[in-house]
């Protein structure tokens, strides 16, 4: 039996997000540059003997951490779905019981892909524990949701279509980010409905030129000048406080770029280095606002035993 395995599930950032169209099944297609932050959930996988023979009891889920409230512990939890899907694809479940423990450090329904990151970490961890075919986790990830596939690699890359079409890894400079959420949970489906109701124009636009690789945060911000997050106007109709968050980040000393990530309501600021980002987070969070703030590195890779806490 394997020893328990703990992995970090880093928060996803959409450095830009363009809506390029809508398929007949209602899903919107997109083009986005995805990066990852040092903020991460912590996912622990522990095997134990199970003599019951009840396959439905072979998977158990426990959730803790500062953002565990309101998170489903049931069958619809994406991490649990990922474990069951990989077991089915591999031709059977674990040899015994599997306990999945999530330490939720990423805000829920915040545009940071926390649920997808957890599911991706489960797939990566179980692939190692169960020694499954190396291509199987990616195939399973493609059926679990738009962000799971990109979170599985946990490296900066372009993604397109409904999120499953991934480009090669992108080289990003060493930089720091500030993440700010006004304390508003936004469901992705609701934001896309608002986007559709607004009748905004879709269409392909050129991707930013990232070759040669930007050498610093300033160069990255310049490369992203012609891009946007197309979901921002729709998210603003549901959470007007996003405008205040973007203004506060943009006014912070040293901020190179302020933008919403995903479907919101979290916004990020791009900074040259950690000291500038930490100073900005302290200033933004210390102005009497009840906002969640975090500062740390951009493009931190997922690795076992990474400390994900702020």
This model's pTM is above 0.75: yes
Q: What is the C-alpha separation between 85 and 81, in angstroms, rounded?
A: 6
Residue 254: is its pLDDT beyond 80?
Answer: yes
How far is CA 224 from its chain centroid?
19
Q: What is the C-alpha separation between 74 and 225, in angstroms, rounded?
A: 42
Question: Looking at domain 176-297, which of 3.40.50.300, 3.50.50.60, 3.30.70.890, 3.30.750.24 is its CATH number?
Answer: 3.30.70.890
Active-site hit among 12, 41, 104, 272: 12
* 286 pLDDT tier (thresholds 50, 70, 90): confident
* 50 pLDDT tier (thresholds 50, 70, 90): low
Question: Please, what CATH class does the domain formed by 5-169 belong to?
Answer: alpha beta
- Considering only CA atoms, give the Rg of the chain: 19
Tell me, yes or no, if 12 is annotated catalytic.
Answer: yes
Per-residue pLDDT, averaged over 122-147, amounts to: 91
Per-residue pLDDT, averaged over 205-220, amounts to: 92
Domains in the chain: boundaries: 5-169, 176-297
Tell me, yes or no, if 104 is annotated catalytic.
Answer: no
Instruction: Quote the mean pLDDT of the chain.
Output: 90
With beta carbons less than 8 A apart as the criterion, state whether 293 and 310 touch: no
The pLDDT of residue 93 is 63
Please indicate whether the domains covering 5-169 and 176-297 agree at the CATH topology level. Answer: no
Per-residue pLDDT, averaged over 212-231, amounts to: 96
Active-site hit among 31, 50, 118, 147: 147
Q: What is the pLDDT of residues 88-128, one digit of tens each?
A: 998 876 666 899 999 999 999 999 999 999 999 999 999 99
The pLDDT of residue 281 is 98
Q: What is the pLDDT of residues 23-44, one digit of tens each?
A: 888 888 999 999 999 999 999 9
* 74 exposure class (CB count in 10 Å sphere: 0-12, 13-18, 19+): exposed
Q: What is the C-alpha separation between 91 and 274, in angstroms, rounded?
A: 46
* 300 pLDDT tier (thresholds 50, 70, 90): low
Most confident of 118-132, 208-222, 249-263: 249-263
The pLDDT of residue 79 is 97
Identify each DSSP E strand in 23-171 by its residue range: 28-48, 59-64, 97-103, 157-161, 165-169
Take residue 17 and report the two structure tokens written for it: 């997000």
- How far lies 50's CA from each of 38, 81, 211, 219, 245, in Å? 36, 20, 52, 54, 49
Residue 308: is its pLDDT beyond 50?
Answer: no
Q: What angle do CA 183, 185, 189 make, to 5 degrees?
A: 160
């Amino acid at each position: 039996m394997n020893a328990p395995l703990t992995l970090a599930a880093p928060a996803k950032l959409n450095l830009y997000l363009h809506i390029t169209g809508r398929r007949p099944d209602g899903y919107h297609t997109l083009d986005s540059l995805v990066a990852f932050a040092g903020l991460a959930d912590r996912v622990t996988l522990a095997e134990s003997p199970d003599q019951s023979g009840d396959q439905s009891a072979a998977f158990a889920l426990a959730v803790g951490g500062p953002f565990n409230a309101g998170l489903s512990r049931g069958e619809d939890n994406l991490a649990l779905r990922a474990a069951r899907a990989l077991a089915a694809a591999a031709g059977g479940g674990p040899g015994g019981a599997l306990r999945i423990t999530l330490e939720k450090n990423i805000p829920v329904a915040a545009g940071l892909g926390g649920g997808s990151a957890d599911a991706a970490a489960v797939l990566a961890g179980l692939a190692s524990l169960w020694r499954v075919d190396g291509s199987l986790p990616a195939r399973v990830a493609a059926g679990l949701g738009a962000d799971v596939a990109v979170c599985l690699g946990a490296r900066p890359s372009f993604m397109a279509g409904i999120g499953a079409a991934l480009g090669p890894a992108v080289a990003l400079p060493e930089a720091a980010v500030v993440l700010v959420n006004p304390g508003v949970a936004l469901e992705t489906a609701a934001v896309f409905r608002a986007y559709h109701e607004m009748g905004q124009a879709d269409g392909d636009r050129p991707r930013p030129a990232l070759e040669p690789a930007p050498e610093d945060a300033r160069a990255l911000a310049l490369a992203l000048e012609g891009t946007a997050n197309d979901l921002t106007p729709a998210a603003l109709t549901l959470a007007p406080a996003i405008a205040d968050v973007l203004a506060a980040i943009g006014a912070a000393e040293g901020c190179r770029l302020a933008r919403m990530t995903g479907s919101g309501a979290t916004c990020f600021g791009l900074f040259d280095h950690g000291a500038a980002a930490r100073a900005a987070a302290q200033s933004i969070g210390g102005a009497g606002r009840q906002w969640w703030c975090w500062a740390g590195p951009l493009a931190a890779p997922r690795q076992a035993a990474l400390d994900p806490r702020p």
